[in-house]
Structure 1
Amino acid sequence: MSELDPRFIQFNESVADIPLPEKFTFPFFYQPHPLAIKASEQLQQHLMHQTDWQHNFGVTQSHAPEALQSLPVIGKMFGVLVVKDAHNQLGFLAAFSGKVADQNILPYFVPPVFDMLSQDSFFKDEYEAVNTLSHQLTVLQSDPNLASLTENLKLLMLKAEQEIAQFRQQMIENRKTRKTKRSSLTNLTEDEQKTLPIELSRQSVQDKHQLNSIKASWEHKCGLVQQQLDALTNQIDSIKQQRKQVSNTLQHKLFAQYRFLNIRGESRDLTHIFKDAPNQQPPAAAGECAAPKLLQYAFQQQFTPITMAEFWWGESPKSEIKQHKNYYPACHGKCRPILGHMLDGMNVDENPLLNNPAEGVELPILYQDPYIVIVNKPANFLSVPGKNITDSVYSRMKQRFPNATGPLIVHRLDMSTSGLMVIALSKEVNKHLVQQFIARTVTKRYIAKIDGEVTEDSGTISLPLRVDLDDRPKQLVCDEHGKHAETFWQKVTTKSGKSLLHLYPKTGRTHQLRVHCAHHQGLNMPILGDDLYGKTEQRLHLHAQLLSITHPHTNVAMTFEVNADFE
């Protein structure tokens, strides 16, 4: 480390033979520069050997005390930023996302943009006020009188409903009796013919009065209980509202403290940065990731940023997929708006996602008739137009078949996935084929090369999936909000630490096969070349190899098969 700045870390071996990058890292899609890899490896050695603090990442650490094993296992994202100091000396900064060892300031690492845990921070006192209100709320909500009154009111209302319904039925019977008596007036004396209708009308009025009396009696009984219940619920609602106001005030006060610089020296807080976001509200923990911490410190200390990388250290979270030591791009939900401001004015690598990897690539047609077309979509080729790239299977088919009607696309493959797709050349054919997919009468078989040796011959993976709201388009495993997703798999071969599998998706969720392979509750082995859930390579080794459908015109079963270039 530098004597002038202990957070400026010098490389422990020469990096003079590594040329500097021409541009700074585009943080949302990158291959780590060799300098960033050197810095990351040095940081990882520090994590293995340091004894200043204790945190159980779920990996073996040198000199780790036994007490470490009793701590909860929590993996973390770390980042490095290679910089030059004022003397043109090359070194790097290190940071972690969130907190480590229940602290946000540790030796070796840059500090947070705002230290909410410091002794003189307003956050502790004001957050304690929120906790006090939360405790009061918990006490009130657990009051046995609340449950008792609620149940009592339900019971009274049920009894009221039953008694009123029973009396209404009695009124119907009484009405029938009176009607019968009115129909027999001709058999009565003249006086009886005069007095009977009066008596019957009196009985009708009496029934109505009695019904109203029954209703009023129950309303009174229920009202007394409702008043007691309202006294409790109003108090609960009042504290909820008070807590919401205090929490919102604290949140906006925090947003104002998180101010981010860029290379021009321009400073913006979270509220300003996220004003154009979909809900105009910064997500939870915005600004606590490693990347903005690193850049903020570099700008504050007049360091020149050279290149950056972030990697995961430790056990994967339960819902996400993070591989130990793997490099990952910055998240979209929290970091994209912040880094968009912080990198403004810097010479940054172009966004590779804006380039069309399918330019000049042919889209092979395997079968064609007046009703359907079967294509073999190459890897890194869009199924439908994206936000920035219009070239796709859809646009190619629209150009090839200008007289076709309907949406053309019946089903999709991920951009990274290659393989068979069926195209409908009319609305009617499209509807017919879509119904086959909905009814799951279509057979789809994928082939995938897995980064690991699968020991079993076959199995079924059932893990519910939902989108990661903070990092689209990634998916999370979520038992609460996820949609059912099921995959059957069979091993084909295993060789040299890799496995070739057949995958049969019973459902068609986004990234289903990729997540089911990579997640620790699935195969715990990512598909080779998976840049989202594994390690980036030239291509994702996932291919839609076989497709069986019923022809929408002839009703004849048809099967198409094409091998992948990695088999």
Structure 2
Amino acid sequence: MPFSAPIAGTPLPPKFTYPFSYEPHPLSLLAAAELQSYLATQSDWEHNFGLSKQQTGAVIGKMFGVLVVRTAQNNIGYLAAFSGKLAGGFHHARFVPPVFDSLTEGSFLNIGMAELTRLNQEISLLKETNTTDSLTQVELLLKLRKSNSIALQEKLFDQFRFLNREGTEKSLRAIFQDTSNSNPPAGAGECAAPKLLQYAFQQHMKPLAMAEFWWGLSPKTATWKHGKFYPACREKCLPILAHMLEGMELEEEPVFIKAGAVALETA
């Protein structure tokens, strides 16, 4: 997306933003300001950020990100993304798509979840019968449900495949398999930063700078403040970004530490 405001007098950053500790570059600030202006005035979709008394339902503040890029046509613009879902969906105008869309109708995930629901219902009915034979069947179905659930989760993790500048692709499971927590945490790969970088690499764009900010109220914790900038999360994003940013010059010199998985830490 091109900038609305003129940027000719703004120098480009010599190195890419170190995502875990940064001061937003002026171009990132401008991109964020344009995105925030859109969020404050748009009528394309409805999401309760908790900023209007007219809205009802659960308040769900959201992390947004902007990525300043140089396109394949040598133009300077920016991309925008949100973490998780927005207004109940993954796809909205002005925002990059998810790395993997788990909500696609008829997908293996929906089919697998439907099967788990069926097993849960069957288990409940057998428990109500409460006979020796039915309880034996319950034990078998519980084992089947567990194995199906694990297989479904692993297949889902394998659908999240992340690129880096060199075009090297790694699955979410491969990225996390050597970390202290070998299983990816819930929501890994759905944060704004990986989505932005993934789309940029897919479209042969060069990432120049990034920033993430919180929009809305935070119903669970006072940590997130409306309109404030924050670093990328370490639990979900550090192993992913270590792969995606490999070979790129960052503002702070990173040290790649191989203690199971590659980790990105400040030198």
TM-score by length of 2: 0.89
Instruction: Report the counterpart of residue 49 of structure 1 in structure 2.
Output: 41
- Counterpart-to-counterpart distance in 2, 1:320 and 1:130: 36
- Counterpart-to-counterpart distance in 1, 2:136 and 2:18: 52
Instruction: Report the counterpart of residue 231 of structure 2 in structure 1.
Output: 329
Change (3 A) 1:348 1:121: same
Question: CA offset at residue 319 of structure 1?
Answer: 4.0
Question: CA offset at residue 11 of structure 1?
Answer: 1.0
1:85 corresponds to 2:71: yes
- Counterpart-to-counterpart distance in 2, 1:22 and 1:116: 37
1:265 corresponds to 2:257: no
Question: CA offset at residue 326 of structure 1?
Answer: 1.0
- Report which of the two structures shows the higher radius of gyration computed on alpha carbons: 1
Question: CA offset at residue 276 of structure 1?
Answer: 1.2
- Counterpart-to-counterpart distance in 1, 2:253 and 2:51: 34
Instruction: Report the counterpart of residue 118 of structure 2 in structure 1.
Output: 132
Task: Name the SS for the 1:130 alignment partner.
Answer: helix
Picking from 76, 100, 106, the partner of 1:114 is 100
Q: Deviations over 1:346-365 (max 9, x none)?
A: 1112259x8xxxxxxxxxxx
Question: CA offset at residue 231 of structure 1?
Answer: 3.8
- Counterpart-to-counterpart distance in 2, 1:342 and 1:32: 20
Give the gaps of 5 or more residues in structure 1.
1-8, 147-227, 355-386, 388-567
The amino acid of 2:10's aligned partner reads: I
- Counterpart-to-counterpart distance in 2, 1:346 and 1:97: 23
Change (3 A) 1:351 1:313: farther
- Counterpart-to-counterpart distance in 1, 2:3 and 2:122: 53
1:40 corresponds to 2:32: yes
Picking from 99, 123, 133, the partner of 2:85 is 99
Task: Name the SS for the 1:234 alignment partner.
Answer: helix
Instruction: Report the counterpart of residue 17 of structure 1 in structure 2.
Output: 9
The amino acid of 2:137's aligned partner reads: Q
Cα contact 2:61–2:216 (8 A) shared by 1: yes
Instruction: Report the counterpart of residue 151 of structure 2 in structure 1.
Output: 249
Cα contact 1:260–1:342 (8 A) shared by 2: yes
Change (3 A) 1:241 1:70: same
Cα contact 1:115–1:121 (8 A) shared by 2: no
Change (3 A) 1:44 1:249: same
- Counterpart-to-counterpart distance in 1, 2:242 and 2:204: 19
Task: Name the SS for the 2:66 alignment partner.
Answer: strand
Change (3 A) 1:319 1:234: farther
- Counterpart-to-counterpart distance in 1, 2:36 and 2:134: 55
The amino acid of 2:190's aligned partner reads: E
- Counterpart-to-counterpart distance in 2, 1:304 and 1:329: 20
Instruction: Report the counterpart of residue 418 of structure 1 in structure 2.
Output: none
- Counterpart-to-counterpart distance in 1, 2:41 and 2:82: 17
- Counterpart-to-counterpart distance in 2, 1:140 and 1:310: 49
The amino acid of 1:246's aligned partner reads: N
- Counterpart-to-counterpart distance in 1, 2:170 and 2:19: 20
Question: CA offset at residue 270 of structure 1?
Answer: 1.0
Instruction: Report the counterpart of residue 240 of structure 1 in structure 2.
Output: 142
Instruction: Report the counterpart of residue 195 of structure 2 in structure 1.
Output: 293
Question: CA offset at residue 121 of structure 1?
Answer: 2.5
- Counterpart-to-counterpart distance in 2, 1:311 and 1:351: 23
Change (3 A) 1:58 1:264: same
- Counterpart-to-counterpart distance in 2, 1:131 and 1:100: 25
Task: Name the SS for the 1:70 alignment partner.
Answer: coil
Change (3 A) 1:129 1:349: same
Cα contact 1:29–1:351 (8 A) shared by 2: no
Question: CA offset at residue 239 of structure 1?
Answer: 2.3
Cα contact 2:59–2:219 (8 A) shared by 1: no
Instruction: Report the counterpart of residue 308 of structure 1 in structure 2.
Output: 210
- Counterpart-to-counterpart distance in 1, 2:137 and 2:220: 38
The amino acid of 1:20's aligned partner reads: L
Cα contact 2:90–2:101 (8 A) shared by 1: yes
Question: CA offset at residue 139 of structure 1?
Answer: 4.7
Fraction of identical pairs, as percent = 50
The amino acid of 2:239's aligned partner reads: P
Cα contact 2:164–2:244 (8 A) shared by 1: yes
Task: Name the SS for the 1:334 alignment partner.
Answer: helix
Task: Name the SS for the 1:296 alignment partner.
Answer: helix
The amino acid of 1:37's aligned partner reads: L
Change (3 A) 1:242 1:18: same
Per chain length, whose mean CA-contact separation is higher, i.e. which structure has more relative contact order (CA < 8 Å, sep 6+)?
Answer: 2
Matches within 5 A, 1:49-68: 49-60=41-52
- Counterpart-to-counterpart distance in 2, 1:102 and 1:140: 35
The amino acid of 1:336's aligned partner reads: L
Task: Name the SS for the 1:315 alignment partner.
Answer: coil
**Segments ≥4 residues shifted beyond 4 Å:** 138-141
The amino acid of 2:157's aligned partner reads: F
Instruction: Report the counterpart of residue 419 of structure 1 in structure 2.
Output: none
Cα contact 2:79–2:95 (8 A) shared by 1: yes
1:30 corresponds to 2:22: yes
Change (3 A) 1:308 1:138: farther
Over the aligned positions, Cα root-mean-square deviation in angstroms equals 2.1
The amino acid of 2:149's aligned partner reads: S
Matches within 5 A, 1:62-461: 69-140=55-126, 143=128, 228=131, 230-319=132-221, 321-350=223-252
Change (3 A) 1:327 1:239: same
- Counterpart-to-counterpart distance in 1, 2:124 and 2:98: 32
